[in-house]
């Protein structure tokens, strides 16, 4: 398995409320602070991730 290069959300604060994102081939990998980034993450297509981000930004 390829090692992912995780980036922390710029909206993170102290504690466990943080989202990390990495490029996973043609997809985006998403994980939360409390999870082991090497083991537990959700993989979504880049178009789905972009649509999610646009929905969050517009609300």
Write out pLDDT tens, residues 23-56.
988 999 998 876 666 678 889 999 999 999 999 8
Domain chopping of the chain, boundaries: 7-58
List Cβ neighbours of 46 (8 Å cut-off, separation of 6 or more).
26, 27, 28
How many Cβ atoms from other residues are within 10 Å of residue 5's Cβ?
9
pLDDT interval class at 12 (50, 70, 90): confident
Would the CA dihedral through 18, 8, 46, 42 be positive or negative? negative
Does the pLDDT value for residue 1 go beyond 70? no
């Amino acid at each position: 398995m390829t090692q992912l290069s995780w980036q922390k959300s710029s909206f993170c604060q102290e504690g466990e409320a943080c989202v990390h994102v990495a490029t996973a081939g043609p997809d985006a990998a998403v994980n939360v602070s409390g999870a082991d980034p090497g083991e537990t993450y959700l993989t979504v297509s880049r178009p789905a991730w972009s649509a999610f981000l646009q929905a969050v930004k517009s609300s």
